[in-house]
Amino acid sequence: MPELDPHAIARLEADAVVLLDQRRLPAEEVEVRCGSAAEVADAIRTMVVRGAPAIGVAAAYGLALAAARGEDLDAAYDALAGARPTAANLVWALDAVRDEPTAERARALHAEEVERCRRMAQHAVDLFQPGSRVLTHCNAGGLATGGYGTAVGAIRRAWEEGLVEHVWVDETRPLLQGARLTAWELDRLGIPFAVLPDVAAGARMASGEVDAVVTGADRIAANGDTANKVGTYALAVLARHHGLPLHVVAPTSTVDLATATGAGIPIEERDPAEVTERFPARNPAFDVTPAALVTTIVTEDGVHRAPYDLSLAAVTAA
């Protein structure tokens, strides 16, 4: 099975962090070489690399590159940490390598994130019934995680077990992470799917064509409130209305116990030109789904259920 090579998504070379340019997928597979921490921060901000665990991995490589180049490490840390605000994994990864910003430590962090994905996918298998038709939003696959994937990893693992019949891929306006990236990944894996306009999800649920919603997360507060790509909240409300489960699959590096509730999660506002260049627009990149609408949160530790303030309390990413 053509699995994405983690090193093809992000890697550290002697003089550069090399990133697969996710902006140009699926049309072209092109790499971007970043020669300094500032260039890595710029690549994160401009979404060369995106997805919560993947930007953490890229930032860790960026700090290791800065150390190897003799850059001011505090300035490098600040530039990388400030590149995008919502994903908890970004600062988590920088803090994890800050005391020892070596290539070995950054590469180990990358490998650990991929391994976490494999473990959470295995835990998630029990949540799928045979013949499941699942809907996913944004891209929470190998591209978003530096390899394997969270929500898409879980779907893939369940499909390998013969449990998934079909995947609905929300196109995910405005940057089309679903239509471009999740579709590209599922196509490579041979998993049956169809891209769906975001606004068509509700009607598919009403007509009985969806059995579960499975998404990733960018930051999970201590009470289980979950920030993910904008549109996830609407899906969660729709899922509840139609009696469908919403499973959030994310590594413990996404869980932010220092943030009590979703109200404390910073929501990134991106350039309105991504929505329309002609008219006034707003472009909030994420939204928060209240814990009450989340059926399970699957981490590499296992399957968490409400009350999340208790079930997540012991979570720490190693």
Query: According to the binding rule CB under 6 A, does residue 228 interact with ligand MRU?
Result: yes
- In this structure, the chain runs to a length of 318
Q: Which residues pair with 228 in a beta bridge?
A: 287
| Choices 29-37, 70-78, 200-208, 216-224 (CB under 6 A): range interacting with ligand MRU | 216-224
Q: Which member of 91, 285, 297, 315 binds ligand MRU (CB under 6 A)?
A: 285
Query: According to the binding rule CB under 6 A, does residue 50 interact with ligand MRU?
Result: yes
Q: Tell me the C-alpha to C-alpha distance, in Å, between residue 293 and each of 7, 49, 73, 241, 272.
A: 36, 29, 41, 10, 29
Which CB, 50 or 304, lies closer to ligand MRU? Answer: 50
Looking up tokens 């012991």, which residue turns up? 314
Query: According to the binding rule CB under 6 A, does residue 52 interact with ligand MRU?
Result: yes
Reported in sequence order, the residue ranges of the chain that DSSP labels E, i.e. its strands, are 10-12, 17-20, 31-34, 132-136, 164-170, 193-196, 212-215, 219-221, 226-229, 246-249, 255-256, 286-289, 296-299, 302-304
Query: According to the binding rule CB under 6 A, does residue 51 interact with ligand MRU?
Result: yes
Query: According to the binding rule CB under 6 A, does residue 216 interact with ligand MRU?
Result: yes
Q: Is 146 within 8 Å of 110 (Cβ atoms)? A: yes
Q: Which member of 36, 132, 150, 311 binds ligand MRU (CB under 6 A)?
A: 150
For residue 14, count other CB atoms closer than 10 A to its CB.
7
Q: Which member of 144, 164, 214, 238 binds ligand MRU (CB under 6 A)?
A: 144
Distance in Å, CB of 13 to ligand MRU, minimum = 24
Sheet holding 212-215, edge to edge: 193-196, 164-170, 132-136, 212-215, 246-249, 296-299, 302-304
| Choices 12-20, 51-59, 157-165, 255-263 (CB under 6 A): range interacting with ligand MRU | 51-59
Distance in Å, CB of 271 to ligand MRU, minimum = 13
Rounded to a whole number, what is the largest CA-CA distance in the chain? 59
Which CB, 145 or 223, lies closer to ligand MRU? Answer: 145
Residue closest to ligand MRU when measured from CB atoms: 216
Binding characters for ligand MRU, 243-282, by CB under 6 A (x = yes): ----------------------------------------
d(CA 14, CA 236): 44
Which CB, 67 or 295, lies closer to ligand MRU? Answer: 295
d(CA 23, CA 30): 9
Binding to ligand MRU (CB under 6 A): which residues in 172-211? 177
Q: Which member of 217, 235, 288, 294 binds ligand MRU (CB under 6 A)?
A: 217
The residue count for binding ligand MRU (CB under 6 A) is 17
- The reply to whether 211 belongs to the active site is no
How many CA atoms, within 13 angstroms, populate the side-chain half-sphere of residue 108?
9
Catalytic residue among 218, 256, 287, 301: 218
Spacing of C-alpha 134 from chain mean position? 17
The catalytic residues are 218
Q: Which residues bind ligand MRU (CB under 6 A)?
A: 50-53, 87, 138, 140, 144-145, 150, 177, 216-218, 228-229, 285
